[in-house]
Amino acid sequence: MKERTLAILKPDCVRKNLTGQIIARIEAAGFKILGIKKVRMTKETAGAFYAVHKGKPFYDGLVEFMSSGPCIPMALEKDNAVVDFRNLIGATDPKDAAPGTIRKDYADNKGENIVHGSDSPENAKIEISFFFSEKELLENL
């Protein structure tokens, strides 16, 4: 069954000019891009997106980082999208990520780890709607 997930190419990915390489890997893994845009989150926007982490030790640094430059949110679709995307990107900390994953290959550290991926189908719906209206999501025919 088709499922959706949100990916965000984070400011470090954009800054390092890796967006094309990462998008190519995502598409090669069978994901369809339903929506894509380049945005610059403010601290308020980043804080709202990551509100679930408010109060955790890494929250302030995460908000600061995610508002430090442009990022590229993408709504993705494929069978088993959430789990498959998290397997493609690897563990949050690149030193713990499996060889061949995006974070292992490109991320510098746990705080600047190239890409965000939704952690559940339920959160994917919420996260996708944060960046995209339903009419912006185009099915690949």
What CATH number did the domain enclosing 56 receive? 3.30.70.141
Which residues constitute the domain of residue 42?
Answer: 2-136
In whole angstroms, what is the distance from residue 98 CA to residue 106 CA? Answer: 12
Indicate the pTM of the whole model: 0.95
Tally of domains within the chain: 1
Among 116, 117, 124, 127, the active-site one is 116
Cβ count near 8 (within 10 Å): 22
To the query of whether residue 53 is one of the catalytic residues in this protein, the response is no
Say if 141 falls within a structural domain. no
Nearest CA-CA partner of 131 in 25, 46, 17: 46
pLDDT band at 140 (very low <50, low <70, confident <90, very high): low
pLDDT in tens, 19-37: 999 999 999 999 999 999 9
